[in-house]
Chains A and B, each alone.
Chain A
Amino acid sequence: MLQILGMGTCHPMTAIDNYFLEALDVGTNAQWIEEKIGILERVTTLPIDYIKSTRNQDPRMAREVTTATAVDLGVTAAERALQQAGIKASDIGKIIVNCCAPEQSVPGEAVRIAERLGIAVEAYDVYTACPAFALHVDFLRNFEESQLPEFVLCVSTATMTHHVNYNDRSDGAIWGDGAAAWVVSARHTGKLEIIDSNYTADPTRCAAVVVDSYQFFHQDGRAVRDFSVRQTVRLVKAIEERYPIDWSRDIFIGHQANRTMLEQITNNREIPPANHWHNVTYLGNQAGAGAPASLSMNWDKLTPGQHIVVAVVGAGLSWGSIVMRVRG
């Protein structure tokens, strides 16, 4: 059985609040943003003056002015995960990475993160955008356990604000930058046992969410929102039917798309606010990093016997879930 031994996150320090977006005068205001998507702040690797003066109208410039790259964020998150797992970078035998906004397509982000960590190991990208946490866990469960190294490092990182058109009143309000990392092992005991996972996709709807390699993010907002709520509810229901989930004890973590969407899901499944871990309110949608970062940020609150239910959705359209149990 796979176990998670440690997790880490990294987020940039520059915050974009709703009043900043209101001041851009693109037809939105702070109250509307809060009511519609429940996000109060999001964090960015872009200098705030750059956003103010250019609205990021040429996303290629974002790469020139950024204060940190997706690799920078991923490396820091990885170092924190390694520290929490109590292992050294040299103990890692494989790195897999998900990144929605790579700086280069060859070599991959995993190769560059391995290089920065100073380790010569198998390193490759396993990629699906937002449901990366579920994909990576499910992907590793494909392997015969004897074929996995002692420790695997998973990283999901993205600088999505580099692809935001800040003249668009919706997109600027959604996205934040961030990375999460987690150390997995089939042979060593960790705090979290992975009981189950799944991942799948409906590529007939792959045009619903798109990030052009050198241009902007764009999506069919309403369709994606409806899909996200319905599909997450389905995932959670399926888990409730198969496992003894008790929402007075167990924890739900969804895709950190926006808080109002998450609240629709928790209301539907009668999950109390205290058992719903999220970080979107002050970090924004960090793509595939949001859900694992939520878990990482609550690591010290994990209680033995508790189930952690992760249900994530995203571009592709794709979705997946993980059921974990906190070890006693």
Chain B
Amino acid sequence: MFVLGVAAATPDVLLSGAQPRECAVSGSPIAGRSGVRTKRVSLPLDYIRSKGNADFLEGWSVATTTPTLLGAQAVRDVLQRIGLSIEQIGLVLGDTGTPYQTCPSEAQRIAGEFGVKIPAYDLVGGIAAVPHMFSVVSRWSTARLPEYLLYVSTNTPSQHVHYGSDPVAAGLFGDAAVVIVLGKQRAASGPSVGVAYARLRAEETRRTPIVIERSARVNTEALLSSDQLKAFIAAEMQRLQQFDATLSQKALFIAPQLYAAEAGENLTQYGVGSQQIISGVDETGFSLGSSHGVALAKSWNALQSGQPVVLMHCGDGQCGSVVLVAA
């Protein structure tokens, strides 16, 4: 199975650390651990300033986009880039943690934007969505795979943030959609990336660091401690070294995105250069399961032949890594 294309879409509104001044957006330790500097959000700044998004349903009524539209935007982008038409796609898998509707599925809503009859359903992976998808689909029988599969993870958690009263969430969340096109065969032209290794495993302790109900919350008690994160990185690097001892020298690393900056610092202790570490949250904010994909999209065009990309995840009840190798 090959990754033929990746694209991310984010809303236009940029929320910096100091914006909006009236909102309590500073002093979020998890924003520091993740390395979030700016957030892309889908609520107008004036609305955030004046209302703080105290009622998320009001937020939905003024939002600049929806998870479905953001996902569809990324789909158009990736298909155009790799020269495929939507009619060539044999299956759409969707993921969202912020659905406007619980029925139909997000995959069906996004496919509906393109007016095509196509199998579509949701494979929901929470904050592990992208590595989770690789871990699932890489275990499928090739005979059951369509020629082309479209995976969309799209999240607008900013629309659930109480900007006036929750500085932790306000400092962390941003919105993004990511689309990954998978194929049975490598692309005739342009980059293709093979899935060399993809395994998530259950953690002994199930944690729910992020909760999206009406509001988007960080469950600070369920966050990994720095020691726990360090222990995960150590164990995972040991596993990865057994798979390929040269990964730390040549691979790009996409760390667990909720702790992207801190995990990145840990990775440097294993010989990984800071330029090898790609963040999907620093400019966009933490967009739940889309964050790994945002980082993958950032690194996509710079990938060199034979270069691996490692996606790492931990801390929500499952952990592990995915290794992609540019063909």
Most buried by A among B108, B140, B145: B108
Specify the chain A residue showing the minimal Cβ separation from B109.
A206
A121-144 CB contacts (< 8 Å) to partner B:
121-129, 135, 139, 141-144
Mark interface residues in A134-161 (1 if CB within 8 Å of B CB, else 0): 0100010111100100000000000000
- A203 adjacent to B132 (CB under 8 Å): no
- A211 adjacent to B103 (CB under 8 Å): yes
- A143 adjacent to B139 (CB under 8 Å): yes
Bound together, the chains give a CA A53 to CA B116 distance in angstroms of: 44
Q: From residue A102, how far is it (CB to closest CB) to chain B in Å?
A: 6
Bound together, the chains give a CA A203 to CA B72 distance in angstroms of: 13
Instruction: Determine which of A122, A124, A143, A212 lies in contact with B101 in the assembled complex, contact meaning CB atoms within 8 Å.
Output: A212
Mark interface residues in A37-80 (1 if CB within 8 Å of B CB, else 0): 00000000000000000000000100000000000000000000
Judged by DSSP, the binding face of A is mixed
Bound together, the chains give a CA A100 to CA B101 distance in angstroms of: 9
Of A18-26, A107-115, A268-276, A298-306, the one contacting chain B is: A107-115
- A213 adjacent to B99 (CB under 8 Å): yes
The answer to whether A101 has its CB under 8 Å from any CB of chain B is yes
- B118 adjacent to A115 (CB under 8 Å): no
Give the residues in chain A near B105, CB-CB below 8 Å: 127-129, 315-316
Give the residues in chain A near B235, CB-CB below 8 Å: none
Give the residues in chain B near A209, CB-CB below 8 Å: 103-104
- B111 adjacent to A203 (CB under 8 Å): yes
The answer to whether A318 has its CB under 8 Å from any CB of chain B is yes
The answer to whether B19 has its CB under 8 Å from any CB of chain A is no
Bound together, the chains give a CA A103 to CA B99 distance in angstroms of: 12
- B205 adjacent to A315 (CB under 8 Å): no
Instruction: Determine which of A60, A126, A206 lies in contact with B112 in the assembled complex, contact meaning CB atoms within 8 Å.
Output: A206
Task: Say which size band chain B's interface belongs to.
Answer: 35 or more
The answer to whether B97 has its CB under 8 Å from any CB of chain A is yes
The answer to whether B189 has its CB under 8 Å from any CB of chain A is no
Mark interface residues in B268-288 (1 if CB within 8 Å of A CB, else 0): 000000000000000000001
Q: Interface size (A, Cβ < 8 Å)? A: 53
Instruction: Determine which of A129, A147, A201 lies in contact with B118 in the assembled complex, contact meaning CB atoms within 8 Å.
Output: A201
Bound together, the chains give a CA A121 to CA B317 distance in angstroms of: 8
Give the residues in chain A near B109, CB-CB below 8 Å: 203, 206
Specify the chain A residue showing the minimal Cβ separation from B207.
A107
The answer to whether B204 has its CB under 8 Å from any CB of chain A is yes
Instruction: Determine which of B99, B122, B205 lies in contact with A128 in the assembled complex, contact meaning CB atoms within 8 Å.
Output: B122
Give the residues in chain A near B114, CB-CB below 8 Å: 203
Mark interface residues in B14-50 (1 if CB within 8 Å of A CB, else 0): 0000000000000000000000000000000000000
- A147 adjacent to B101 (CB under 8 Å): no
Instruction: Determine which of A106, A316, A318 lies in contact with B126 in the assembled complex, contact meaning CB atoms within 8 Å.
Output: A106
- B57 adjacent to A206 (CB under 8 Å): no
Mark interface residues in B87-99 (1 if CB within 8 Å of A CB, else 0): 0000010001111
Give the residues in chain B near A166, CB-CB below 8 Å: none
- A203 with B120, Cβ < 8 A, contacts A106-B211, A143-B139, A144-B140 known: yes
- B117 adjacent to A204 (CB under 8 Å): yes
Specify the chain B residue showing the minimal Cβ separation from A211.
B103
Bound together, the chains give a CA A147 to CA B142 distance in angstroms of: 13
The answer to whether B200 has its CB under 8 Å from any CB of chain A is yes
Q: From residue A298, how far is it (CB to closest CB) to chain B in Å?
A: 27
Instruction: Determine which of B97, B100, B120, B204 lies in contact with A106 in the assembled complex, contact meaning CB atoms within 8 Å.
Output: B97
Mark interface residues in B107-151 (1 if CB within 8 Å of A CB, else 0): 111111011111111111111000010001001110011000000
Mark interface residues in B233-249 (1 if CB within 8 Å of A CB, else 0): 00000000000000000
Q: From residue A196, how far is it (CB to closest CB) to chain B in Å?
A: 13
Q: Which 6 A-B pairs have the closest CB atoms?
A: A203-B111, A147-B139, A211-B103, A206-B112, A125-B124, A106-B97
Give residues in A with beta carbon < 8 Å to B. Answer: 60, 99-108, 110-111, 114-115, 120-129, 135, 139, 141-144, 147, 163, 199-207, 209-214, 217, 315-318
Q: Pull 29 A–B residue pairs with CB atoms less than 8 Å apart, ordered by A.
A: A106-B126, A107-B211, A114-B206, A120-B202, A120-B206, A122-B202, A123-B317, A125-B123, A125-B124, A126-B122, A127-B124, A128-B108, A147-B139, A201-B118, A201-B119, A203-B108, A203-B110, A203-B111, A203-B116, A203-B118, A203-B120, A206-B108, A206-B112, A211-B101, A211-B103, A212-B100, A213-B99, A213-B102, A318-B120
